[in-house]
Amino acid sequence: MKTALITGGSRGIGAATARRFAKEGFRVIINYNNSEARAKALAAETGGIAIRADVGSPEQVAAMAEKITAEHGALDVIVNNAGIAHFGLLTDMSEAEWQNLVNINLGGAFRVTKGLIRPMIAAGRGCVINISSMWGQVGASCEAAYSASKAGLIGLTKALAKELGPSGIRVNCIAPGVIDTEMNARLDSETLAELKDETPLGVIGSPEDVADAAYFLYENGFVTGQVIGVNGGFVI
């Protein structure tokens, strides 16, 4: 049975991705940090496994990677989805807030990939999918740290695609637009309406739209180093 790890997999895009891969016959490993009840419920629903680790902690990620490798060997797919947001002026952002956001959004993908890639290299196969954002492509006012961290994921994707391609491992990135998730639920109705109006398709995306793109990137064996925009035309 093929195995996929989805970080931040208990809700939103992560949960939809876990369901999509489970539907295709994958064993899904659902990483979570705080949402234990949701993760375990999703694991029961999909026949998967829930495993706790804060991707911002090198020690916790190392322990998770060791456990996964010991029990499942080389993964077929890693989806680096775990992330947090911060909204506000850069001048009001503390050093600690900046470091925490970059540590989780970009550092988490680094740690998880590094911790699990060696068995994939040995097996000569595998797929890494990083979940960035359209703001990582064009930047967003009052989301400088978030935009920077997501831009970093794009750079990491392109570099690792070149580094790992000779080992048979593909690395791609998805840059979602405005998606109906809890992260965007903090936006007021007026802001959401404006974002919807700015989206050429005139709709807000769903987590399933992103999950479908993730499965496409796994399935197509000649796609690597790419950034796939799932944004309704917001960024072209």
Neighbours of 147 (CB within 10 A): 20
Find out whether 3 and 67 touch, Cβ atoms under 8 Å. Answer: no
- CA 88, 185, 203 angle in degrees (round to 5)? 110
Location of structure tokens 């979602």: 176
193: number of Cβ within 10 Å: 12
Torsion sign over Cα 129, 71, 31, 203: positive
CB atoms within 10 A of CB 100: 16
Enumerate the active-site residues: 146
Distance from C-alpha of 98 to C-alpha of 31, rounded to nearest angstrom? 23
